[in-house]
Amino acid sequence: MNLIFFGPPGAGKGTQAQKLVETQAIPQISTGDILRANRRDGTGLGLEAQTYMDRGLLVPDQLVIDMVGARLQDSDCEGGYILDGFPRTVAQAVALDEFLEKRDSSIDKVVVLTVPDGLIVERIVGRRSCGNCGAGFHVEFKPPAKQGVCDVCGSELAQRSDDTEEKVRVRLNEYAQNTAPVAAYYKQRGIVREINGVGGMDEVFGRLTEALEN
Ligand code: AMP
């Protein structure tokens, strides 16, 4: 199944995608994660993306389109994939369609996670992750046993540099301006499934699996 997980930053796309990866043998392709890995490795792409990411702005379309095009050609995507954080503009959605059409492929479903803005800010600002194993925590909703330390591997937890309240507001604005119209682009095809992203991880996952069956 070729899936797109769609929704504002902090809606739980990454968390829910990770849960689905555990039950389906398909990879999660997070453009944010790939860009952050490029930044860490100091690649040309990472350096170019950095200035935008640091300000909470979207990275230029062509950079992300080329990056996803390359990733989708990896053999682990043959049985399907979950796109998490892509497409984020209508131009990206059009480019994805063109790429897939050439390969006689298409997107099966677009899952839209909805969460009110107030809760998004609370979720994102409290978010922490392990710099070593990538495990995710939240200072209030999912605190580690020992403050600032990963429960899984004992390494130090860190906050993403764009997870401050000020940058979340910029990212929410980017979402409203550029990304929200992408849902309308897919809606005409009848493949959009909107689910309420408020609630516990398992509760939301229950809604997600139900939505994917219909
Ligand atoms: P995320 O981890 O999905 O919240 O993405 C973090 C940041 O990476 C975003 O604020 C953007 O700067 C950049 N980014 C991730 N995905 C995309 C995309 N599809 N298009 C443009 N920029 C992106």
Is 47 in the same domain as 134? no
pLDDT of residue 12: 93
Range of the domain at 152: 127-162
When pLDDT is averaged across residues 22-30 and rounded to a whole number, the result is: 93
Task: Please work out whether the CB of residue 32 comes within 6 Å of at least one atom of ligand 1.
Answer: yes
pLDDT of residue 25: 87
Which CATH number is 63's domain given?
A: 3.40.50.300
pLDDT digits (tens, 9 = 90+) for 55-70: 999 999 999 999 999 9
Beta bridge partner(s), residue 42:
none
What's the number of CA atoms in the CB half-sphere (13 Å) around residue 56?
A: 17
pTM of the model: 0.92
Which residue's CA is the nearest one to ligand 1's atom 6?
32
Edge-to-edge strands, sheet with 127-130: 136-138, 127-130, 157-158
**Structural domain includes residue 39:** yes
Q: Percentage of the chain surpassing pLDDT 90?
A: 93
pLDDT of residue 166: 94
pLDDT digits (tens, 9 = 90+) for 113-143: 999 988 999 999 999 999 899 899 999 999 9
Is 147 in the same domain as 177? no
CA 145 to ligand 1 centroid distance, Å: 30
Task: Please work out whether the CB of residue 11 comes within 6 Å of at least one atom of ligand 1.
Answer: no
The number of domains in the chain is 2
Task: Please work out whether the CB of residue 52 comes within 6 Å of at least one atom of ligand 1.
Answer: yes
